[in-house]
Amino acid sequence: MKRGRRRGRPMRAVVNARHRTVQALYQWQLTDSSVTQLLRQFQQRPQGGPLDLEYFHRLVEGCVGHDEELRGLLTPLLDRPLKELDPVELAILLIGSYELAHCPEVPWRVVINEAVEAARVFGNSESTRYVNGVLDRAARALRDTDGPPLPGAVGTEDPDTSECLGDGAG
């Protein structure tokens, strides 16, 4: 179990927020549920331990709200048409690309590692390699992946600029 804390929140709660978002985005793709319906349904599920509710809301709202942008970012990085992606893989790639594009305080390596872990939990046997490859290319396109840790990395984030840590900014 992860023992670190992000902005005073247990990391397990942040991981659970990502995992719950995978489930919500999967359902959204299949049923076209509204964001309100998704948030209500998936925040009330009791399984999985602590949930960073603010981060869960941020991810669901951000992925759905930036869907067109994120699909445009992902399309040139894929080896097949977007419509041929497994819905679970697409959900994980949407979360990862959202965090890479809109959450600079989350280090790119963390984004990729957490996406690969979600692929292990929810995907098929090839999902981890595929998600890793696509998000690695996305990180190289969106972030400085050769330099030192980005300003705002876990432990150094500025509470006034932390859009993706659920502070309500942005």
**CATH for 15:** 1.10.940.10
Query: Is residue 157 one of the residues assigned to a domain?
Result: yes
Q: Which domain holds residue 144?
A: 10-165
Residue 5 lies in a domain: no
Q: What mean pLDDT comes out for the span 159-169?
A: 43
Task: Quote the number of domains for the chain.
Answer: 1
The answer to whether position 54 is within a domain reads yes
Averaged pLDDT of the chain: 82
Domain presence at residue 56:
yes
Read off the pLDDT of each residue in 13-21 and give the average, rounded to a whole number.
93
Report d(CA 99, CA 57) in Å as an integer. Answer: 13
Examine the pLDDT at 30 and tell me if it is beyond 90. yes
Q: If pLDDT is split at 50, 70 and 90, which confidence band does 8 have?
A: low
Euclidean distance between CA atoms 2 and 117, whole angstroms: 13
List, for residues 33-80, the tens digit of each pLDDT value: 899 998 888 877 666 688 899 999 999 999 999 999 999 999 999 999
Residue 43 lies inside a defined structural domain of this protein: yes
Distance CA 39, CA 37 (A): 6
Question: In the predicted model, is pLDDT for residue 147 greater than 80?
Answer: no
